[in-house]
Chain A
């Protein structure tokens, strides 16, 4: 062998044959290894869910994961789908689009998921949907509200929730009907969602009232110190501040606005009441207005039992995102059952024919954008924290109790 390496002579015919055999055997072994270690068709049905399990939105991601786990447990307890167990495989997008895309690719190519149901951030889903579209894997979005996702009209993409315009509508309507401001300010996050909802709110308020936007500000995702931007908002003296951050940014921004003593009505979101009160503190949380709430109301026969079960199991009420995630797992399993197959095109066809009664209503998909997009419970309602509880205060006709004017905010003159 040493002579083979160091010799200046040409290799002999026998040596050439040996080398050729070694190369062929090596290549054949590599190919065989690759195919032998490919994931086998699993006994279980694998569904992929990409969520922000770490990062600034982990608060919400955890709720969504619990909801997905609960749905899978129930489905398996009832016999599974097509006689097989359902297994949810998770990817952590860390609230980053590039991570969302890479985790989606991993779930499809390495884990062999037959469908995807998840995503929280619009910007993450915008990146991930390109991956699911490349592989034509059914992809059900549960939270990305940007219209741009729908406008792609990807045949494999479905949306079990409404879009930014609908969400902005209830914000804006409550602001006009209840606060009746002369001026307002927007504090949003620098993401697709933040930009779009700000634009939609401004458009709606401009078309339906004479209120003027005195400040439109954007903070980065994961911002912790809102004092500088809130200082600027305070200087503009708005009658109302609409907070459109996400994850833990909502309670942080609100709490810091209260600390700064800004004399304005404040409206935002809250994901889970208990988490919000823990973060903000009981002294500041009272009288907070929130859109995007999931009310304890009998929307369908499943709503209240699920609400109570989730609260009992996890020690806190479910967020609207958790409700969407729960419904999405059921929707995809229902489609697989009706399709009688785990082949992607058959699942997609079955999804188009969905009429599933979930905890948030009867879910169907429109033929153009494949979105369940009417204004249902959570987008239509505004709640207020009164006595440590979240009560529905708007629309006025369905309010549980009247709204209480926030004591620190003077009424617009």
Chain B
């Protein structure tokens, strides 16, 4: 048999290719769960838009000198409003009131998507802009 003689000339053996594939698969298995999936991206995008709208509404209330009510409801398919908290108290009604002189209490809106993806939009007390905060863990 000349098999062992041809080994060098022929490139990889099946075992070698399988070993490389196994290493690549292992690396992918470690990295992939940490990459954001479709549902997660949709929730993040919705949270970003909500933060932008809330900031704009607050600005308008302050510049206009009169309070403004903002309704918050799901518009993107696969994303729903899980909770609206004003100063730590959970509100069932789908909206918040923004004062003309800034607000005494912070507003926290939790958005949830299919597959358990979550994003939290935080509108701080006072005059500041809303921002998206990461929901870590549960």
The answer to whether A and B belong to the same complex is: no
